[in-house]
């Protein structure tokens, strides 16, 4: 295992993903909460940071606790920190060291630099630079403007690099990371989806024994993969509940439910459409709608869970990004834990213990594990879909009639995206029902009907997003099909806003 100590860089999670892509397990911990180093820890990586090592209040760490004992790699701030605290000098760089650069000099006999091609492209992003290095430092790579692009402390396994090996613009970053992980740390590349599945099924068996577990399925990837793992561990003792809130995509409840049954899951489909529609009646404020849906979900789930006797555990599909403690360096050394489960909290009196089998996985790893466990492609490759479903894609108040119209429009949209190969190219797509009417003409008739907006975005994690440049021909075809087939819609528009300043959903 590799320990990554986070100084608050936006790239820390990316380092972890790159390590995992090389099938090596790693964990991110805040720099000020170093966990105990056990014999499984093979090396340490110090991340970048928005801070400067010269600033008062900059994150501090005793790196000597690792230096000479474990292989250590400092990236950007991490490298500057090692240099500064070994007697070197870090100063503001005269020219901005930002963007692409090439390693003009590479010490190819150095283990970290092994097999890096000359002029290898790297990505720089720092306002400080290492000006002077102590005598026991050796420069192992330089660019035209950054002499100390990479260094090693002689006769030790401590390295620093000032560029970001984790971003794809550093074209040989993977090779460099592999050199560090495999050759220098001696890690074994055994962190694979199959190994993870096997180990976690064993661990779940041990943890849960003959206890009953209840899990809310949503049709999304995370809860589905969590269910498959638990199913393999406890079989029929896993009770899955899949609630039809009447706000899912057209036909989705029935088709996903039958996929779950095909997978052998012990799943109960609960038709609660009317309870949700009743709770939503007359509500048009987005947050009130969200609250109502959350509340009814818990009521329905609670009712169902109570029908299963003697349940001990509640399983959740929480994934790693939800549990990493984020370091906010510039706002003080406070650590906040992000947490956003669709399921929310259950009433206290249920007193269930929580089991979260995916909490060490990134999203792409969840998919790989799902694939290894035989989850069908239509669930694996599904776009993210918000918990409140179509209710936040119907602006204003929600009625079953509007849901029906939007489901039809969304169906035509998604079907065309799939048929044209665009579904897998966009991160998320959906149709939005607007509460405004406009004039149109159909045949000789004047119409006065509603507008549907189409949204498609590219994104990595939903935090920022670009609108997708769908081909005009495709948009034209979708627009025609929607207007010609759906009574109540006479106009279709395409959303060309990016996030920020817009958001992905309209509510
Ligand atoms: P926004 O609209 O904030 O959406 O740009 C970012 C991502 O979050 C999803 N989203 C939600 N997911 N409950 C959810 O489970 C919600 O209330 C909710 N609101 C937005 C959205 O679909 C996108 O993937």
193-380: CATH class: alpha beta
399-494: which CATH topology? GMP Synthetase; Chain A, domain 3 (3.30.300)
From first to last of its 507 residues, the chain has per-residue pLDDT tens of 999 999 999 889 899 999 999 999 999 999 999 999 999 999 999 999 989 999 988 999 999 999 999 999 999 999 999 999 999 999 998 776 788 999 999 999 999 999 999 999 999 988 899 999 999 999 999 999 899 999 999 999 999 999 999 988 899 999 999 999 999 999 999 999 999 999 999 999 999 999 999 999 999 999 999 999 999 999 999 999 999 999 999 999 999 999 999 999 999 999 999 999 999 999 999 999 999 999 999 999 999 999 999 999 999 999 988 888 767 665 443 333 323 334 455 566 567 899 999 999 998 899 999 999 999 998 999 999 999 999 999 999 999 999 999 999 999 999 999 999 999 999 999 999 999 999 999 888 999 999 999 999 999 878 889 999 999 999 999 999 999 999 999 999 999 999 989 999 999
Q: Which stretches of 209-341 are DSSP H helices?
A: 221-234, 252-262, 273-280, 286-306, 320-323
Every domain of the chain with CATH number 3.30.300.10 lies at 399-494
Cα(505) to ligand 1 centroid in Å equals 6
Annotated ligand binding at 334? The verdict is no
Residue located nearest, by CA, to atom 11 of ligand 1:
386
Ligand 1 pocket test target in 219, 386, 507 with most atoms within 8 Å of CB = 386
The catalytic residues are 76, 164, 166
3-class SS at 407? helix
| CATH architecture entry for 2-184 | 3-Layer(aba) Sandwich (3.40)
Annotated ligand binding at 170? The verdict is no
- Structure tokens belonging to residue 229: 């793992």
| Whether 453 contacts 431, CB under 8 Å | yes
- Structure tokens belonging to residue 379: 């669930």
Every domain of the chain with CATH number 3.40.50.880 lies at 2-184
Label residues 490-505 b or e (16+ Cβ within 10 Å = b).
Answer: bbbeebeeebeeeebb
Alpha-carbon span 10 to 16, nearest angstrom: 12
- Taking alpha carbons only, the member of 70, 66, 93, 98 closest to residue 82 is 66
Q: Which ligand 1 atom sits nearest the alpha carbon of residue 505?
A: 2
Ligand 1 pocket test target in 340, 505, 507 with most atoms within 8 Å of CB = 505
DSSP of 171-184 = TTHHHHHHIIIIII
Is the complex ipTM higher than 0.85? yes
Every domain of the chain with CATH number 3.40.50.620 lies at 193-380
Q: What pTM, to 2 d.p., does this model score?
A: 0.84
């Amino acid at each position: 295992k590799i320990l990554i100590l986070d100084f608050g860089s936006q790239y820390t999670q990316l380092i972890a993903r790159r390590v995992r892509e090389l099938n090596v397990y790693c964990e991110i911990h805040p720099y000020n909460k170093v966990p105990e180093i056990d014999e499984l820890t093979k090396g340490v990586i110090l991340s970048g940071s928005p801070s400067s090592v010269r600033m008062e209040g900059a994150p501090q760490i005793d790196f000597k606790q690792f230096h000479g004992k474990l292989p250590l790699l400092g990236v950007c701030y991490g490298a500057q920190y090692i240099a500064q605290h070994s007697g070197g000098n870090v100063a503001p760089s005269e020219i901005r060291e930002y963007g692409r650069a090439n390693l003009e000099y590479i010490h190819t006999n150095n283990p970290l630099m092994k097999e890096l091609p000359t002029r290898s492209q790297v990505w720089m992003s720092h306002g400080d630079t290492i000006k002077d290095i102590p005598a026991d430092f050796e420069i192992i790579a330089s660019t035209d403007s950054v002499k100390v692009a990479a260094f090693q402390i002689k006769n030790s396994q401590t390295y620093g690099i000032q560029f970001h090996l984790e971003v794809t613009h550093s074209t040989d970053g993977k090779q460099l990371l592999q050199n560090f992980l495999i050759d220098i740390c001696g890690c074994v590349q055994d962190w694979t989806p199959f190994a993870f599945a096997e180990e976690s099924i064993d661990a779940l068996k041990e943890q849960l024994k003959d206890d009953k577990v209840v899990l809310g399925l949503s049709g999304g990837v995370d809860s589905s993969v969590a269910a498959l793992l638990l199913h393999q561990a406890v079989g029929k003792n896993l009770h899955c509940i899949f609630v039809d809130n009447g706000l899912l995509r057209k036909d989705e409840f029935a088709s996903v439910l039958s996929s779950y049954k095909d997978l052998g899951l012990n799943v109960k489909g609960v038709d609660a459409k009317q309870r949700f529609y009743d709770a939503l009646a007359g509500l048009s404020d987005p947050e009130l709608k969200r609250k109502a849906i959350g509340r009814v979900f818990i009521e329905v789930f609670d009712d169902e869970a109570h029908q299963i006797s003697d349940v001990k555990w509640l399983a959740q599909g929480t994934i790693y990004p939800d549990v990493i403690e984020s370091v906010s360096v510039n706002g003080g050394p406070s650590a906040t834990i992000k947490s956003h489960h669709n399921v929310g909290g259950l009433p206290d009196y249920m007193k269930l213990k929580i089991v979260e089998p995916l909490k060490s996985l990134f999203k792409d790893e969840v998919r790989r594990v799902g694939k290894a466990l035989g989850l069908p492609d239509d669930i694996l490759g599904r776009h993210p879909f918000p918990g409140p479903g179509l209710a936040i894609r119907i602006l204003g108040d929600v009625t079953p009639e509007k849901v029906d119209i939007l489901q039809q429009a969304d169906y035509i949209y998604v079907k065309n995206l799939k048929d044209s190969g665009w579904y897998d190219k966009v991160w998320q797509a959906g149709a939005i029902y607007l509460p405004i009417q406009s004039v149109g003409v159909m045949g000789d008739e004047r119409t006065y009907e509603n507008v549907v907006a189409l949204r498609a975005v590219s994104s990595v994690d939903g935090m920022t997003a670009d609108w997708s440049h769908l081909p005009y021909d495709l948009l034209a075809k979708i627009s025609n099909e929607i207007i010609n087939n759906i009574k109540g819609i006479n106009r279709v528009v395409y959303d060309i806003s990016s996030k920020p300043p817009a958001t992905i959903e309209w509510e």
